[in-house]
């Protein structure tokens, strides 16, 4: 049985109120959901909280679940809607990342000598790589919602164009167009870094 069939079977059991099946689905998909949300909003703490909201919504929506598409397509539709709601909430109230606050506190409190570890990678190269990854993440987060979701689902979650089209409720050519525009925007913003 392939994983998507197993997920659909588990979800059908969840629909009948099976908590063990729900726990197994959460264990299977929690990491991918958290990573997707984190890439979209850039806050690890908030990503975990939002992932919990996603799975609460999965539980609440179980009665309406129909295995007409892959379970992950249905799941990432919920993830996408949760991310959109979070962006709307932040736009209304403004939000600052706790990770960013913690990082700035760590930078101001760093005292004492630091010693190089001969077995660790070159610190300058590692710092440069971290900075590049941070810039890429920030650039992805600045993309319009549908472009950002398409990039995250394609690049980081490995969903096919067809699956992304179902999540975003659009056609496959529209997904290709979204990804093309996103790549062009990222290329322009990251010019000189990649």
Which tens digit of pLDDT belongs to each residue from 100-139? 545 544 443 433 344 444 455 556 666 767 777 788 888 8
Average pLDDT, the chain: 81
In this predicted structure, what is the pLDDT of residue 114? 42
Residue range(s) defining the domain that contains residue 83: 1-93
In this predicted structure, what is the pLDDT of residue 194? 54
Q: Are 73 and 149 part of one and the same domain? A: no
Task: Tell me the mean pLDDT in the region 8-21.
Answer: 94
Q: Are 146 and 194 part of one and the same domain? A: yes
Q: Name, in order, each residue with C-beta under 8 angstroms of 97's C-beta and a sequence gap of 6 or more.
A: 42, 43, 46
Surface-to-core class of residue 43, CB atoms within 10 Å of its CB (0-12 exposed, 13-18 middle, 19+ buried): buried
Residue 99 lies in a domain: no
* CA nearest neighbour of 36 among 82, 70, 71, 91: 82
Q: Are 24 and 86 part of one and the same domain? A: yes
CATH number at residue 172: 1.10.10.10
Give the percent of the chain with pLDDT over 70: 79
**The total number of structural domains that make up the chain:** 2
Statement: residue 26 has pLDDT above 90: yes
Residue 191 lies in a domain: yes
In this predicted structure, what is the pLDDT of residue 155? 85
């Amino acid at each position: 049985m392939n994983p998507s069939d197993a997920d659909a079977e588990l979800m059908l059991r969840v629909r009948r109120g099976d908590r063990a099946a729900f726990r197994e689905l959460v264990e299977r998909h929690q990491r991918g959901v958290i990573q997707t949300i984190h890439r979209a909003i850039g806050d690890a703490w908030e990503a975990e909280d939002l992932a919990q909201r996603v799975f609460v919504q999965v539980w609440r929506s179980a009665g309406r679940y129909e295995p007409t598409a892959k379970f992950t397509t249905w799941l990432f539709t919920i993830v996408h809607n949760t991310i959109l709601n979070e962006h709307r909430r932040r736009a209304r109230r403004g939000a600052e990342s706790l990770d960013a606050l913690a990082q700035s506190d760590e930078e101001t409190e760093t005292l004492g000598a630091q010693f190089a570890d001969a077995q660790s990678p070159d610190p300058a190269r590692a710092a440069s790589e971290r900075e590049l990854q941070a810039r890429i993440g920030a650039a992805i987060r600045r993309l319009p919602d549908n472009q950002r979701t398409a990039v995250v689902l394609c690049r980081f979650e490995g969903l096919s164009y067809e699956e992304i089209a179902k999540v975003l409720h659009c056609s496959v050519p529209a997904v290709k167009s979204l990804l093309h525009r996103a790549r062009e925007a990222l290329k322009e913003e990251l010019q000189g870094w990649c």
